[in-house]
Amino acid sequence: MTRYVLRRLLAMPLLLLGVATLAFLLGNLVKGDPLSSILNERQMNNPALVEAAKAKWGLDEPIPERYLTYIGNLLQGDLGVSFRTKRPVMRDLMERLPATLELVVSAMLVGCLFGVALGVVAAHWRNGPADHGARLFALIGSSLPVFWSGLIALFVFSVELSWLPGPGRIDASLPPPQSITGFYTIDSLITGDWPALRSALLHLLMPSVILGWTVLGVISRMVRANMLDVLQQDYITTARAKGAAVLRVLLRHALRNALVPTITIIGFAFAYLITGAVLTETVFSWPGIGSYAVAAARALDHPAIIGVTILGAVAFLLANLAADIAYVFANPRISLT
């Protein structure tokens, strides 16, 4: 397995170079004036200012030359400076990635734990009230648009009931915890900043449940279908005949095999949410990668667009790799070569 993992890791730079090249070309060939986030609208007809801005940001060079410069910098880990935020893209991404990961990991925990549990319950009591209830719950989660369910949840739990705080990662009156990992929950725990930890956990709760609910639907349906398939197998009948407890049969014998295809879905969902949780991030004013990507695209912020694309590609590659490795643990009969 080690050789397999190494081989996959070694192939990543080449794949990323291809992704970066494609993103660079697409970004530079689409219609639009990237100066729109550099120079104000009223000055766009001022030739002196336009020339100065183009020269400063390297937009006066031919595209091939810009490409070579970009790739040269990329090989040194420099993703350039964002036209919009005027800060290094790497710094922007590294600040936002923990925010997104904190949200996505907690959402995936919600989605996976409840999704698997609901899937098992639904399969065990197939066509019973528990099955129907679980399927309905999952269906609602998959069907409700996040921008709606998020706003409603904010209205109910934050405005009306005052149980949970409003949008953001932490209460604005509190200074964010000293940055160590960028994860507010972990950083506040490490530094013993309990008010920040409480605020961060409270702020995390609603968006992760809302986002997790959307994932939950897919996972529970997948688990249910696979469980139903597995529960028909002879070895399950054998296990039952040998007097194994129902819970043991379900969790140790059936679920373990039913999980293999689900892991693929979980891997994809995780990678997708790294850049795709934009609606949740917008509704909850969560400063993550998704909202950064949308803002970059709207402003034609080339360095940021390419940076996010590369990050998204890395997330997919790593998530796929992690899913492949997880197969082995879920089912020891699978080997990676």
Partner 1 sequence: MSKESSRQSIVGGALSAVALVGLSVTLLASPNAVQADNDTIVIARDTDFNSLDPNQAWCDSCQIYLTAAYEQLVRVGDDNKTIVPRLAKEWSVSDDGLTYRFVLDERATFSDGTPVEAKDIAFSLMRQKNLKGSPSFFMEGIDSIATPDAGTVDITLSAPDPEFLGKVSAPYAAILNADLLAQHGGVAGEDASTKDTAEAWLQDNSAGSGAYVLESYRPDDELRLVANENYWRDRPQASTIVIREADDAVTQIQMLQSGSADIAMQVDPDTATTVNAEGVVTELVPSANFIYVALSPGAKGMEVPLSPALREAIGHAIDYDGVLEFTLGGAADKMASPIPNGFPGTEGLPMPEQDIEKAKAILKQEGLEDGFSMVAAYPEFNVYGVDLTTMMQKVQQDLAKVGIDLKLEPVTFPVWRERVGGDHIPMTAVFFAPDYYGSGQYTGYFGMAPGITWYNRAGGDEVEGLQNARMVELLDQVRTANADEAVDLYHQMGLEMIKDRVIIPLINPKLVLAYRDGIKGVRYAICCNLPVEELSKE
In the complex, the smallest distance separating the C-beta of residue 172 from partner 1, rounded to whole angstroms, is: 4
By beta-carbon proximity to partner 1, the closer residue of 82 and 309 is 82
Q: What are residue 40's phi and psi, to 5 degrees?
A: -70, 155
Q: Identify the residue among 100, 214, 291, 309 touching partner 1 (CB under 8 A).
A: 291
Residue of 212, 18, 222, 188 lying closest to 103 (CA atoms): 212
Q: Identify the residue among 67, 167, 256, 314 touching partner 1 (CB under 8 A).
A: 167
Contact at 8 Å (CB) between 167 and 206?
no
Residue of 274, 302, 275 lying closest to 38 (CA atoms): 302
Segment contacting partner 1 by CB under 8 A, of 26-34, 70-78, 137-145, 235-243: 26-34
**Positions 71 through 110 that interact with partner 1 (CB under 8 A):** 84-87, 92, 95-96
CA distances from 89 to 26, 40, 292, 304, 313 (A): 18, 21, 10, 6, 16
The Cα angle at residue 17 between residues 11 and 20, in degrees rounded to 5: 140
Say which residues have a Cβ less than 8 Å from residue 26's Cβ, sequence separation at least 6: none
Segment contacting partner 1 by CB under 8 A, of 228-236, 259-267, 290-298, 322-330: 290-298
By beta-carbon proximity to partner 1, the closer residue of 7 and 86 is 86
Kindly determine how many residues on this chain lie close enough to bind partner 1 according to the rule CB under 8 A. 65
Q: Identify the residue among 172, 245, 251, 334 touching partner 1 (CB under 8 A).
A: 172
Distance CA 207, CA 216 (A): 14
**Positions 220 through 259 that interact with partner 1 (CB under 8 A):** none
The answer to whether 287 contacts partner 1 (rule: CB under 8 A) is: yes
State the binding string over 27-66 for partner 1 (x if CB under 8 A, else -).
----xxxxxxxxxxxxxxxx-xx--xx-xx----------
The answer to whether 7 contacts partner 1 (rule: CB under 8 A) is: no
**Positions 123 through 152 that interact with partner 1 (CB under 8 A):** 151
Element (H, E) at 147: helix 146-153
Distance CA 75, CA 215 (A): 36
Token pair of 90 as six digits: 């790497």
By CB under 8 A, name the binding residues for partner 1: 31-46, 48-49, 52-53, 55-56, 84-87, 92, 95-96, 151, 154-155, 158-159, 161-169, 171-176, 194, 197-199, 201-202, 282-283, 285, 287, 291-292, 295, 298-300
